């Protein structure tokens, strides 16, 4: 994730503004940079997993058969479909929110793009800690150790929020520096700095929300996470963004 976000940030700068041998592509450059960064991330994960097969035992026999028993397929669909729909609807919701922001002008979109690139670097902390919660708590639940799962979950949620308080303070302090390295107007830099400051203020709350979300997912409560994530986005976040933007 660090490699993907770092690559995305560097390629954004090079391809949006046409630095060095790269052509000036603007918005197309931002999109292309994101795609390239994700492919690099996927390649790193795939190559590492295959090199370290001893740590990734699930790869044993991974390419020898693709048949799935009907009962197992049914269980996967029942649990997986709400998650799939949640991701689709959440992504659509975030796209709609960005569209609402765009009615305020191109400067807002540019400022938001710069801020998002920077905040994603700091958000990695609570995003990855959320994934860790899902893995650790899921292991305890699978072993039938309910009390250990509760204890680990509480400690990891507190740790996640604590880490993000520190990261938020750091981002708030140094946030104004990053927009200054972009070759753009002063208004866009000021907007990006404001967006970064707001993101820093809400980061601890996002950390708690994210940790709670993955706690529910680790227990298989996919329908609850669907309501918690995408339904909330469409019922609260999207209407609020629309009303405030218009």
Host H or E run for residue 43: helix 27-51
Q: In b/e form, how buried is each residue of 12-44, taking b as 16+ CB within 10 angstroms?
A: bbbbbeeeeebeebeeebbebbbeebeebbeee
Q: Please write the tens of the pLDDT for every residue from 226-246.
A: 888 888 999 999 999 999 888
Question: pLDDT tens for residues 26-42?
Answer: 878 888 888 999 899 89
Q: What is the pLDDT of residues 78-131, one digit of tens each?
A: 878 888 888 899 899 999 998 898 888 888 888 888 898 889 888 888 888 888
Whether pLDDT at 1 is above 80:
no
Given this model, what pLDDT does residue 15 score?
Answer: 85
What number is the average pLDDT over the span 198-215? 92
Segment 70-75 shows an average pLDDT of 85
Higher pLDDT, 55 or 173: 173
* Residue 154 pLDDT grade (very low, low, confident, very high; cuts 50, 70, 90): very high
Write down the pLDDT at residue 101. Answer: 87
User: Among 193, 23, 34, 185, which residue's Cα sits nearest to residue 106?
Assistant: 185
**For range 63-74, the mean pLDDT:** 80
> How many CB atoms within 10 Å of residue 218?
20
pLDDT at 198: 94
pLDDT, mean of residues 207-229 = 85
């Amino acid at each position: 994730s660090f490699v993907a976000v770092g690559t995305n940030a560097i390629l954004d700068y090079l391809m949006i503004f046409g630095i060095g041998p790269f052509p000036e592509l603007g918005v197309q450059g931002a999109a292309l940079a994101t795609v390239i960064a994700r492919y690099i991330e996927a390649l790193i994960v795939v190559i590492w997993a295959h090199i370290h097969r001893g740590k990734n035992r699930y790869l044993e026999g991974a390419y020898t058969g693709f048949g799935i028993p009907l009962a197992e397929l049914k269980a996967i669909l029942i649990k997986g479909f709400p998650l799939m729909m949640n991701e689709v609807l959440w992504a659509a919701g975030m796209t709609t929110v960005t569209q609402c922001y765009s009615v305020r002008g191109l400067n807002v979109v540019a400022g938001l793009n710069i801020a998002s690139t920077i905040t994603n670097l700091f958000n990695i902390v609570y995003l990855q800690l959320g994934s860790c919660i899902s893995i650790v708590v899921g292991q305890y639940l699978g072993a039938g150790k309910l009390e250990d799962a509760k204890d680990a979950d509480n400690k990891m949620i507190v740790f996640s929020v604590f880490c993000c308080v520190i990261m938020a303070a750091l981002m708030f302090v140094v946030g104004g520096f990053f927009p200054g390295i972009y070759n753009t107007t002063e208004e866009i830099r000021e907007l990006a700095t404001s967006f970064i400051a707001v993101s820093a203020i809400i980061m601890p709350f996002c950390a708690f929300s994210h940790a709670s979300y993955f706690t529910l997912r680790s227990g298989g409560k996919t329908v609850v996470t669907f309501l918690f994530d995408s339904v909330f986005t469409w019922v609260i976040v999207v209407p609020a963004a629309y009303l405030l933007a218009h």
